[in-house]
C-alpha cells in the first residue's frame, strides 16, 4: 500500500513505522504556506489550525500518490475526536473515494477496533516480526527524543550559531537510514558524540534561563506551526523543554493506566488541582506541567494553543491565577493561520528579556502582573 500520515515533529518516526511494516511510504512534505492554504480552503472556517494543516498535508500526500492515510483519533469533549471523520468527509466531497483514511483511537477505548486497524496496516508481516520491529521502533523513538533533549540544552550555548541545528538535521538523516536495533544503538552513540563535540561557551548556573513549553500537542511539537519557537528561544540563550515528546506520549497513551509511568500520573494529579473534570485535549496535562516546571526550577513558561481550542482556552483563563499562586511568569500564544512570525518573535524576545531581569532580581511581581495583563487584553481583543 502507498501509505502516508500527518506531518508532526520528527516525522521520520512515522516513516520508519510503515517501512518496518513493508509498505511503500509516501513521505508528506513538511508543512509550508501552501499546505496551510490548501487546508484553510477546504476546512470549516471555525476549525482550529491542526485540523486545517493536517487537511492540507493529506492533500499534498495524495498529490504524491498516497492511497492510505493513517492518523490517530481522540475522545472526550475536545473536537479533535471528530478530526478523522471530518477529514474523511472532506476527502470524499473532493472526489477522493479511492483514498482510505485509517483512524487509530486509544486501544483502551475499543480494543477490537484498534486491532482491526492493526490488521489493516500489518500488511501480512508475520506477528513475530511485527513485535520485534515495533520494539525496535519503540527504542528508536526513545533514543531520538534523548538526542533532541540534548539539542535543546546545547543550542543556547553554542559558539557557532546554527551549528546545533545543522547537527540535529544530520542526526535525523542518520536515523532515517537505520534498519536494525543493533544499528540503532551504534548510530545513537555516534550522534551523541556529534552533539557533545559542538563548541560551547561556559555559563554560570545563576545566568541560565530555562523555559518550559506547554499546550496542545500539534502546535507544541510541529515547528512549522509554532515558527520554530524552540530554535528561537535557543538562539536567545534559553534552555527549552517541552511538556510533550513522542516517546512519553506513547507511554502515556498506548500503555494501560496501571502500567503507565509514575511521572505521568503525578502530572495529572498536579493538573487536577485546578481542572477537576474531564474537558478533553491536553488541558489537565498543560496545567500539571506548568506546576511541575516551576517545582523543577524553571524560570518561565510559554503556553502554545490553537486559536479557539476549547481545552486550552480553559487553561488560558486559569493562567493568571496559576502564575500568581506558583510564582512563575507565563506567556500564552494563540496560533492560527493569521499569526505572524514577526509579532510572535517580538513578544518572545520581550518575554526573555523580562525573565533575565527577573533572574537578576530587578523585577518580580510587577513583571508577572504585566505579562498577565497583556494576555488578558489579547484575549478580549480576540474574542
Q: Are 281 and 80 in contact (CB under 8 A)?
A: yes
Distance in angstroms (rounded) separating the CA atoms of residues 298 and 293: 5
pLDDT digits (tens), the chain, 383 positions: 899 999 998 899 999 999 999 999 999 999 999 999 999 999 998 888 999 999 999 999 999 999 999 998 776 677 777 888 899 999 999 999 999 999 988 777 788 888 899 999 999 999 999 999 999 999 999 999 999 999 999 999 999 999 999 999 999 999 999 999 999 999 999 999 999 999 999 988 888 999 999 999 999 999 999 999 999 999 999 999 999 999 988 887 776 666 667 888 899 999 999 998 878 788 899 999 999 999 999 999 999 999 878 888 889 999 999 999 999 999 999 998 888 888 899 999 999 999 999 988 766 544 443 444 444 443 333 32
Distance in angstroms (rounded) separating the CA atoms of residues 159 and 58: 40
* In the chain, beta strands by DSSP E: 2-4, 24-25, 68-72, 100-104, 209-215, 238-242, 300-306, 330-335
Residue 106: exposed, middle, or buried by beta-carbon count in 10 A (0-12, 13-18, 19+)?
A: middle
Q: Are 357 and 363 in contact (CB under 8 A)?
A: yes
Q: Hey, which residues does 102 pair with through a beta bridge?
A: 70
Q: Are 6 and 58 in contact (CB under 8 A)?
A: yes
pLDDT at residue 371 in the model: 43
Domain boundaries, the chain: 2-125, 130-202, 203-382
Distance in angstroms (rounded) separating the CA atoms of residues 357 and 196: 30
Q: Residue 99 corresponds to which cell in the numbers above?
A: 483514498
CA atoms within 13 A on the CB side of 316: 28
Largest CA distance in the chain: 64
Domain 203-382 has CATH 3.90.180.10: no
Fold identical between 2-125 and 203-382?
yes
* CATH among 1.20.950, 2.20.28, 3.40.50, 2.60.40 for 2-125: 3.40.50
Q: Hey, which residues does 71 pair with through a beta bridge?
A: 103
Distance in angstroms (rounded) separating the CA atoms of residues 37 and 55: 10
pLDDT at residue 364 in the model: 57
Closest C-alpha among 173, 188, 1, 172 to residue 99 = 1
CA dist 51 to 147, 205, 270, 306, Å?
Answer: 29, 41, 29, 10
Amino acid at each position: 500500500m502507498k501509505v502516508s500520515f500527518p506531518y508532526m515533529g520528527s516525522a521520520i518516526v512515522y516513516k520508519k513505522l510503515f517501512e518496518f511494516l513493508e509498505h511503500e511510504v509516501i513521505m508528506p512534505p513538511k508543512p509550508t504556506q501552501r499546505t496551510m492554504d490548501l487546508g484553510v480552503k477546504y476546512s470549516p472556517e471555525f476549525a482550529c489550525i491542526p485540523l486545517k494543516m493536517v487537511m492540507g498535508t493529506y492533500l499534498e500526500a495524495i498529490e504524491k500518490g498516497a492511497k492510505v492515510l493513517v492518523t490517530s483519533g481522540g475522545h472526550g469533549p475536545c473536537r479533535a475526536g471528530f478530526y478523522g471523520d471530518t477529514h474523511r468527509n472532506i476527502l470524499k466531497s473532493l472526489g477522493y473515494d479511492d483514498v482510505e483514511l485509517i483512524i487509530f483511537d486509544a486501544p483502551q477505548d475499543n480494543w477490537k477496533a484498534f486491532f482491526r486497524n492493526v490488521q489493516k496496516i500489518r500488511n501480512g508481516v508475520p506477528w513475530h516480526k511485527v513485535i520485534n520491529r515495533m520494539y525496535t521502533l519503540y527504542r528508536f523513538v526513545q533514543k531520538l527524543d534523548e538526542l533532541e533533549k540534548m539539542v535543546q540544552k546545547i543550542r543556547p550555548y553554542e559558539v557557532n550559531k546554527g551549528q546545533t541545528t545543522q547537527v540535529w538535521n544530520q542526526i535525523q538523516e542518520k536515523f532515517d537510514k537505520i534498519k536494525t536495533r543493533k544499528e540503532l544503538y551504534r548510530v545513537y552513540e555516534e550522534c551523541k558524540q556529534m552533539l557533545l563535540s559542538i563548541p560551547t561557551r561556559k555559563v554560570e548556573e545563576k545566568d541560565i534561563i530555562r523555559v518550559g513549553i506547554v499546550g496542545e500537542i500539534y502546535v507544541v511539537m510541529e515547528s512549522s506551526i509554532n515558527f520554530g519557537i524552540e530554535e528561537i528561544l535557543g538562539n536567545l540563550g534559553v534552555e527549552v523543554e517541552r511538556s510533550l515528546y513522542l516517546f512519553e506520549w506513547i507511554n502515556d497513551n498506548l500503555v494501560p493506566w496501571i502500567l503507565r509511568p509514575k511521572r505521568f500520573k503525578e502530572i495529572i494529579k498536579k493538573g487536577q488541582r485546578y481542572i477537576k473534570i474531564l474537558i478533553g485535549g491536553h488541558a489537565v496535562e498543560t496545567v500539571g506541567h506548568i506546576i511541575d516546571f516551576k517545582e523543577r526550577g524553571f524560570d518561565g513558561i510559554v503556553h502554545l494553543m490553537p486559536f479557539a481550542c476549547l481545552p486550552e482556552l480553559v487553561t488560558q483563563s486559569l493562567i493568571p491565577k496559576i502564575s500568581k499562586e506558583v510564582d512563575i511568569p507565563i506567556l500564552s500564544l494563540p496560533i492560527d493561520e493569521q499569526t505572524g512570525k514577526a509579532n510572535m518573535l517580538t513578544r518572545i524576545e520581550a518575554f526573555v528579556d523580562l525573565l533575565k531581569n527577573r533572574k537578576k532580581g530587578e523585577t518580580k511581581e510587577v513583571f508577572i502582573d504585566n505579562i498577565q495583563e497583556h494576555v488578558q487584553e489579547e484575549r478580549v481583543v480576540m474574542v
